[in-house]
Amino acid sequence: MSEHTESKDRSQLRQKRMIADHFERLSRAKEEGKKVVYTFVPGNLTELIGAFDMLPVLPEINALQSGMRKKSAGYIAEAEKSGHSEDVCTYVKCDIGMLRSGNIGPTGTKLPEPDLLLLSYTGCFTFMKWFELLKQEYKCPVVMLHVPYQPDGVITDEMRSYVVEQLRTEVIPAMERVTGTRVDVDKLAAHLSLSKQAEDDLVAVWESARHRPSPIDGYFGGVYYVGPIFSSFRGSHDAVMYYRELREEVEARVARKEGPMAPDGPVKEKYRLVVEGPPNWTNFNEFWQMFSREGAVVVSSTYTRVGGLYDQGFRHDPSHPLDTLADYCLGCYTNLGLPSRVDLLAKYIREYEADGFLVNSVKSCNSFSVGQLLMLRKLEEKTGVPGGFIESDLVDPRYFGKANIENRVQSYLQMLEARKARGTSADAVVSP
Amino acid sequence: MKCVVGIDLGSTTTKAVLLDEQGGILGRGITNSRSNYEVASAVAWTEAVTSARFDLLERAMPSTSGSWAKPMKDAFRLELFIDELAELRATILRNLERSLTVHGDRKALATTVGEVLDRVRRKAEPLFVGGAPRRSEFFRDIAGALYVAEAEEISRAGGAPFEQLAALYDRAILEVETRAQRRDVGGLLRRALDRVLPADRAENATARAAAAQAIATAAAQTIEEIAVVGTGYGRQTLPFARESVRSEILCHGRGAHRVFPGTRTVLDIGGQDTKAIQVDDHGVVTSFQMNDRCAAGCGRYLGYIADELNLGLHELGPLALQATKSVKVCSTCTVFAGAELRERLALGQKREDILAGLHRAIMLRAMSLLARSGGVQNEFTFTGGVCNNGMAVKVLRELVNENYDPTTTLNIHPDSIYMGALGAALFGLDDARAGRLAPMPPFLRAVASEVSA
């Protein structure tokens, strides 16, 4: 085994172990008297959950894992049997279907029922409906944190104090009631401090993509990198170790001038792209290979920022625990107005010297897809860099049209190529 | 002569274009794709080589041949049609002989088929050399329309049942159009020459001598393919070299821009794709949108509607143009549209009025894609099989006038079905000029050696 394969595997193996351990802990939660919180990725309050020694379950992550493990089609069919329309977010249907099929988690162990449903981000309307459905199933308390939208890309003092007030008067008391313990602010601050360390390293990993070739793929590879920090591990020692290791591995790749690894081997960078929108999970590797085989590397993406815009300066701040949690919830990528999203994408295109940007539009995901065509046009105007548009779905395999998507991806990449060669084409010198 | 080849493997038809090293169009061929892209590309390519031979002849003709160059071309096409008709006749008779389902007097049936095909041949003549309007370039369409008309008449007069005659044709045409033919181009040219400049007239002697010289010059030319580029829906399934495959979006954009250099927006409606493409002043694609998940509103939709009405595809447009009003058709789902069509017919609405509505429904879908791709810029070029449909063009013009600048130039070229193959050939020319020679893929080479023998 070569040196770089060994080092590449280290962080991956650690992540795998962390996930297995977490689901193992969840499977023992009831017998060990641990309380379980179901919550979402955007605006997740993992440090606060950790401060109460509660264990988080993230239905979105379970749904995407089901998609990758080819189980989502059956779960979605199960949900449709109980009356959910074809147009409903497929994460929701996959989760409901999994619940109806015995609630077996991605690692094969049964998931414990929730003691609390914590909705800490309201930017996605579907989340509210999702938890209304779960509430009917579980008969446990629900606590909702109303998070104001950022129309102008600015978090005002009023917005922050509005969220902090809800944390103080609703969220924390609900957690105290469920666990029977008082909030331990020191413990919360300790978790927040660990979060900050991991966030510093994650930002270094993102920014490594400024190198040529980029040592990482910031979308297909990136979804693995955000795994721990988006889910149950932020604020843990494990996460700190994971991101330190990952950063070291990536820095070693930079030193060796290596490109990213794709499912079928190293990618030789030919195109640098920025991607907007979530990936497709049911055909994830197939989708990735459509890019990697053409030498297309994603240098930055917005999907990998839904769990925090750390590269734009945000860090969890242990000295202001509630304010920082409020800022985190308010700062989700999908909580930004369209102009802010366009500005951020334009910044990525510029700073990462992208040749193009691509939107993967998922009709059933309103948070992302509303306004994407407008964003595409605005970005083209703003940057002069050509945009591409493809459509797929999160976890419903029926909506992954391979031929159609591949055609668009190839057309788009060939378009970038043709633009580079502009003026040297045959018909430019031949009169019609 | 060195040339490059572009092959567009569409879901309905496969097209081939040959360009010379200067980028001039040398030959074109088209056939139905059916499900066998390998055969389809070989057939289209063979046809393109045949037409290239004719083009070489035209180039070899003296400038004084102006008066007979055009009739010669028409006569050549007629002779080609007659050749194909003979092939159809042989196929029908062979199938009839082997058929397990035809009972009764086979000999009488064979005679009737012979009579139908004789009439087809007679009726076809004015379509090629008499200046009568010919609605389609396809052998299938021309022969099919004439065959159906003649078979109906003979059947009405007490001949064999129409269904039996039609079934024989349907089976044979599939075989004929998916068989790569080695054409005796020299023989076709000589027959065409005899037709245009009969040998028994003394005053033709000089012109015939010049033509014979030109035929000899053209025949002596070798055609050597130095680069091949494949595009279209079927491109991935064919064993083209990876670097010899280009996206049809780029090819359509480039082909359209080559023919109409002012083009900035292209709408291509093919069998199962609708593409809205924006190109820059070099014909390079800057933005595109295409249909997703559903192919309603594409060419196959019209094919399905034509089947529902028991009409030929090329008859839909002219019929719809006779509409006095446009019935609103809500759905552009192909299957639902078929149901809606039957329902409205049952309610007593006129076929042409319903068809007008269906054409509008299709074009509204195209308008949505155009809007998403960046709108309609001047000049606007409409390509793909559907642009041969007069009603589709009329509705498109109206919608452009309603939604964009009414002074926008709308370009439609009679050969616009070849735009994708033309674009592919232009990319092949780029490759050749950059020294990236791509040899013919082996499956095409096999046909090539047979044809040039």
Higher-pLDDT residue of A93, B337: A93
Of A380, A414, A425, the CB nearest to B246: A414
Chain B residues with CB within 8 Å of chain A CB: 22-24, 233, 236, 246-250, 254, 257-259, 261, 280, 282-290, 292-293, 372, 374, 426-427, 429-430, 433
- Other beta carbons within 10 Å of A235: 29
CA dihedral A297, A300, A306, A307 (to 10 degrees): 90
Alpha-helix residue ranges (DSSP H) falling in B221-350: 248-259, 299-308, 313-320, 334-346
- Percent of chain B whose predicted confidence (pLDDT) is above 70: 92
How confident is residue B12, by pLDDT bands cut at 50, 70 and 90? confident
CB proximity A121 to B under 8 Å: no
**Contacts with B, A 314-373, CB within 8 Å:** 373
Identify any residues that bridge with A142 across adjacent strands, giving them in sequence order. A117
Tokens at B298, concatenated? 């594409």
What pLDDT score does B324 carry? 95
Question: Coil, strand, or helix at residue A394?
Answer: coil
CATH number of B261-412: 3.30.420.40
- Nearest Cα of chain A lies from the Cα of B397 at a distance, in angstroms, of 25
- Nearest Cα of chain B lies from the Cα of A376 at a distance, in angstroms, of 10
CB pairs under 8 A between A and B: 79
Rounded to the nearest angstrom, the gap between the alpha carbon of residue B371 and the centroid of all alpha carbons in its chain is 29
Tokens at B429, concatenated? 């020319």
In 3D, which of B142, B386, B354, B365 has the Cα closest to residue B252? B386
Tokens at B211, concatenated? 């033509």
Residue of B nearest to A377 (CA): B374
CA dihedral A95, A97, A99, A102 (to 10 degrees): -140
- Nearest Cα of chain A lies from the Cα of B422 at a distance, in angstroms, of 11
CB proximity A374 to B under 8 Å: no
Query: The sheet that has B2-9: what strands, in order across it?
Result: B25-32, B13-20, B2-9, B224-231
Burial of A175 (0-12, 13-18, 19+ CB in 10 A): buried
- Nearest Cα of chain B lies from the Cα of A418 at a distance, in angstroms, of 6
Mutate to test the interface with A, among B292, B379, B411, B429 (most CBs of A within 10 A): B292
User: Percent helix, strand and coil across chain B, each rounded to 5?
Assistant: 60, 10, 30
Q: Is the peptide bond before A213 cis (omega within 30 degrees of 0)?
A: yes
pLDDT tens by residue, A309-367: 999 999 999 999 999 999 999 999 999 999 999 999 999 999 999 999 999 999 888 88
ipTM: 0.76
The amino acid occupying position A259 is G
Residue of B nearest to A425 (CA): B430
pLDDT tens by residue, B428-438: 999 999 888 87
* B23 to A430: CB separation less than 8 angstroms, yes or no: yes
Share the mean pLDDT of chain B.
86
* A415 to B282: CB separation less than 8 angstroms, yes or no: no
In 3D, which of A406, A297, A277, A424 has the Cα closest to residue A356? A297
Average pLDDT of the segment spanning B393-406: 96
Running DSSP on this structure, what letter comes out for residue A111? P
Alpha-helix residue ranges (DSSP H) falling in A208-302: 222-230, 237-255, 284-292
Mutate to test the interface with A, among B5, B25, B249 (most CBs of A within 10 A): B249
The two counts, helices (H) then strands (E), for chain A are 18, 10
In order of A40, A89, A170, A395, the CA distances from A63 in angstroms are 12, 11, 28, 7
* B290 to A408: CB separation less than 8 angstroms, yes or no: yes
Tokens at A221, concatenated? 């590879």
- Nearest Cα of chain A lies from the Cα of B368 at a distance, in angstroms, of 12
Residue of B nearest to A372 (CA): B372
Of A373, A408, A427, the CB nearest to B258: A427
- Percent of chain A whose predicted confidence (pLDDT) is above 90: 80
Considering only CB atoms, which chain A residues are within 8 Å of B257?
Answer: 427
What pLDDT score does A359 carry? 96
**Contacts with B, A 143-172, CB within 8 Å:** none
Tokens at A279, concatenated? 């990936």
Tell me the whole-structure pTM to 2 decimals.
0.83
CA-based end-to-end distance of chain A: 58
- Percent of chain B whose predicted confidence (pLDDT) is above 90: 42
For residues B434 and B409, is the Cβ–Cβ distance under 8 A?
A: no
Strand-strand pairing, B2-9 and A261-262: unpaired
Tokens at B281, concatenated? 């002043």
CB proximity A1 to B under 8 Å: no
Identify any residues that bridge with A110 across adjacent strands, giving them in sequence order. A104
What pLDDT score does A364 carry? 82
- How many CA atoms are closer than 13 Å to the CA of A266, on its beta-carbon side? 13
How confident is residue A2, by pLDDT bands cut at 50, 70 and 90? very low
* B433 to A426: CB separation less than 8 angstroms, yes or no: yes
CB proximity A414 to B under 8 Å: yes
Running DSSP on this structure, what letter comes out for residue A210? G
In order of B300, B313, B316, the CA distances from B303 in angstroms are 5, 6, 9
Of A380, A389, A426, the CB nearest to B429: A426
- Give the DSSP letter string of A27-82: HHTTTTT--EEEE-STT--HHHHHHTT-EEE-HHHHHHHHHHTT-HHHHHHHHHHT
Cα separation, A121 vs B302, in Å, equals: 48
pLDDT tens by residue, B243-282: 788 998 999 999 999 999 999 999 999 888 899 999 999 9
- Nearest Cα of chain A lies from the Cα of B364 at a distance, in angstroms, of 19
CB proximity A389 to B under 8 Å: yes
What pLDDT score does A366 carry? 83
- Nearest Cα of chain A lies from the Cα of B405 at a distance, in angstroms, of 20
- Nearest Cα of chain B lies from the Cα of A180 at a distance, in angstroms, of 52
Domain extents for chain B? 3-54+227-243+431-452, 261-412
Neighbour-count burial for A54-69, b at 16+ CB within 10 Å, e otherwise: bbbbbbbbbbbbbbbe
Least trusted range by pLDDT, from A187-201, A375-389, B237-251, B399-413: B237-251
Least trusted range by pLDDT, from A2-16, A341-355, B368-382: A2-16
What pLDDT score does B158 carry? 84
Running DSSP on this structure, what letter comes out for residue A215? S
Average pLDDT of the segment spanning A243-256: 96
* B284 to A418: CB separation less than 8 angstroms, yes or no: yes
Of B248, B250, B289, the CB nearest to A418: B250
Alpha-helix residue ranges (DSSP H) falling in A284-365: 284-292, 321-330, 338-351
CATH topology classification for B3-54+227-243+431-452: Nucleotidyltransferase; domain 5 (3.30.420)
Question: Coil, strand, or helix at residue A123?
Answer: coil
Of A399, A407, A428, the CB nearest to B247: A407
What pLDDT score does B328 carry? 87
Mutate to test the interface with B, among A415, A416, A424, A430 (most CBs of B within 10 A): A415
* A386 to B250: CB separation less than 8 angstroms, yes or no: no
